[in-house]
Structure formats: C-alpha cells, structure tokens
Amino acid sequence: MYIMIICGAPGSGKGTQSDMIAEKYNLLHLSTGDMLRQEVAAQTELGKTIDSYISQGNLIPDELMESLLAHRIDTTSAEIKGIILDGFPRTVAQAQALETILADRQLTVNALVDLDVRHDELIIRLLNRGKVSGRSDDNITTITQRLHVYAEKTLPVNKYYIEKGMYHKVDGMGTKQEIFDRICRIIDQTL
C-alpha cells in the first residue's frame, strides 16, 4: 500500500490537491481536519472538546489524535491502493507515533510532499476561504494562531522526514494544475 503525507502551512492547498491526487491515483484521502470536524458536527462530548481546540487555532493533543488516526486506518477497507495523509503528522511526536502505527500494520510512509506557499498568500487564501467555508478557524485571529502553531510545532516535522530521505518540497504557488503536475512527478517516482 502506497502512503503519502501531504503537508504545508494552513492555506497551502493540501485539501484541494489531496482530492485531485486521490482521484487520479485511486487513493484514500484521509484528512484529520475533516475527521475532527465530523466529530464536532456530531455534537458528541468528544466533539465539544475537539471544537475548543480547533476554534482557538490550537492542535488537538497528540495522544487523542494518534488514537483517532489508528482507529481510522483500522476501519479502512483492505481493498484500497493507498492513503494520502492530509494534516497528519503535525508534531514530531505524531511522526514518531505514525511510524509505530504503520509498522504494527506492516505499512510504511513512501513520500512526504511539502507545499511551499508565501506567508502573505496563505493569509489571502484562508480569508477568502473563510467567506464561504463556515469554518470557525478561518478568521484573522485564529489564522494568526494557526500559522504560529504551524511554525513552532509542525515545521520541525520536515527535518524528521528529510533525515529519512522521504521529504519533497513542492512550490505551492501557481495554478492548481501547475501545482498538481509538480506533485504527480513525485508520486510517479515514489509509487
């Protein structure tokens, strides 16, 4: 099974590109943000706890996120050809946990694609999305906190994968198709 991580700052286009990749290569798009928002929408006790983190622009605690992800992988059909992990891992601890979660299931990460987008462009994209997304975290206060959390907690994840030789930086500026073509070249090399 092919496993690819797509990462990048909030607003870098991970979700959009993951959908395009999933369709072309017949992979499962597994977005932890979407998983969490579904739990919030279900208005469970867990969902209320999750909502308090998301709407403040903070990360859900590692252990909770890791157990939700492991459960999601275990409930995935054995038929799928591969997974695009969108939004996970977001901390070095999650990256280490992912290695164990996958190894326990005889799986491994094949490649990580990091979408590189200028800071001012990220804010423009997120504010534009906020006009239609209805997301509690697409407002300037929460966007600022999300970008801060990204720089502090998520950027160090790149080093972890650089050292493993799995890291691929992709220019995330340009049209959707241009960015998609760049990603496809990496997938075709690592598939």
Query: In the complex, which residues of this chain contact ligand AMP (CB under 6 A)?
Result: 10, 32-33, 36, 53-54, 57-60, 65, 87-88, 90, 94, 137, 146
Token reading at 10: 């909030």
Smallest separation (angstroms) from ligand AMP to the CB of 110? 19
What letter would DSSP give residue 58? Answer: P
By C-beta, is 141 or 185 nearer to ligand AMP?
Answer: 141
By C-beta, is 88 or 161 nearer to ligand AMP?
Answer: 88
161 with 173: CB under 8 angstroms?
no
By C-beta, is 40 or 170 nearer to ligand AMP?
Answer: 40
By C-beta, is 28 or 54 nearer to ligand AMP?
Answer: 54
Smallest separation (angstroms) from ligand AMP to the CB of 188? 25
119-133 and 140-149 are packed helices; what angle lies between their axes, rounded to 10 degrees?
A: 130
Report which residue type is found at 34. D
Q: How many CB atoms lie within 10 A of CB 138?
A: 20
By C-beta, is 54 or 83 nearer to ligand AMP?
Answer: 54
9 with 125: CB under 8 angstroms?
no
Token reading at 58: 């903070």
In angstroms, the CA 76 to CA 95 distance is 20
Omega within 30 of 0 (cis) for the link into 156: no
Report which residue type is found at 8. G
Place of tokens 């492991």: 70
Smallest separation (angstroms) from ligand AMP to the CB of 49? 11
Smallest separation (angstroms) from ligand AMP to the CB of 165? 23
Residue with the CB atom nearest ligand AMP in the bound state: 33
Smallest separation (angstroms) from ligand AMP to the CB of 53? 5
